[in-house]
Amino acid sequence: MNNNLSIGFIGAGNMAWAIIGALVKSEVLPRKNIIASDIAAERLELAEKEFGISTTQDNAQVFAKSNAVVLAVKPQFLPEVLNNLAASPGYPGEGRKLIISIAAGVGCAKMEGILYAGLDEEAKSRLPIVRVMPNTPALVGQGMAGMAPNAYALEEDRQTAQTIMDAAGKALWFDEKDINGVTALSGSGPAYVFYLAEAMVRGGVEVGLPEDKALEMAIQTIKGAALLMEETGEAPGLLREKVTSKGGTTAAALNVFNENKVLEAIVQGMLAAKKRGEELG
């Protein structure tokens, strides 16, 4: 347990909730070292009861009391939040403070433009930024996040961000230029899996299975296949080949997928997601 780490969350929505819950469960730091703010008082009351953490509706208080601040507000609200922080009395304060943003589509340069305005080089160096692209399986402790540091983030800052995001799953480091690619794969990826499950359930019903049992079978099949990939370490293509007998039922299904260029469609979809991320950013 790290008694020296204090983490503040500005925004207490679903993703912040998942990370807070994971931190509390894993006992990475004492509950008393976590504080959260939100515009909804009832959300904060629930957080106090659920996690035993401190709460406030004053974002500046969260900033002042924490040595790592997680920005967990909707992207359209982030500029206003950052401008208000930068205008708060005593900003940026003494000591080092890590800023971690999980706001989708907002690059480090945009945040630097607000947070670093009017600061000298020494003050900027004490306010490193890490941009994070999480995904929704973090809500069940199985998230996959991509993280990108700005120029002022040191190894100690990377370790802190790693500790926070690993509590809710896994996290990997990238150059910021790759974050839109991360978004296209893991950020949007859960929707692709849900889409596959949706198709499997529909197909199950078409072949005569009850919908509830088709759903249960689809979930377990996807879960088991993912675990098999992880534990064997074998490439997905190799595992696919191993389960596909020439002239068999699996081959019949895959032939239809290939005729309809399903794999190519998924790749094209990811390219479209990356392009849209670049447009939004």
Q: 251 among the known binding-site residues?
A: no
Residue 49 has what pLDDT?
97
Tell me, yes or no, if the pTM score tops 0.85.
yes
CATH of 189-280, one of 1.10.10.60, 1.10.3730.10, 1.10.3080.10, 1.25.40.390: 1.10.3730.10
Q: 74 among the known binding-site residues?
A: yes
Q: 266 among the known binding-site residues?
A: no
| Whole-number percent of the chain with pLDDT over 90 | 96
Tell the CATH superfamily of the 7-176 domain.
Answer: NAD(P)-binding Rossmann-like Domain (3.40.50.720)
Q: Hey, do 7-176 and 189-280 end up sharing a CATH topology, with the first three levels equal? A: no
Q: 218 among the known binding-site residues?
A: no
Q: 12 among the known binding-site residues?
A: yes
Residue pLDDT, tens place only, 134-174:
999 999 999 999 999 999 999 999 999 999 999 999 999 99
Q: 11 among the known binding-site residues?
A: yes
The three-state (H, E, C) secondary structure of 167-205, written as one string: CCEEEEECCHHHHHHHHHHHHCHHHHHHHHHHHHHHHHH
Do 29 and 6 contact (CB within 8 A), yes or no? yes
Residue pLDDT, tens place only, 36-71:
999 999 999 999 999 999 999 999 999 999 999 999
Q: 275 among the known binding-site residues?
A: no
Average pLDDT value for the chain: 97
Q: 75 among the known binding-site residues?
A: yes
Burial class from Cβ neighbours inside 10 Å (0-12, 13-18, 19+) for residue 235 reads exposed
| Whole-number percent of the chain with pLDDT over 70 | 100
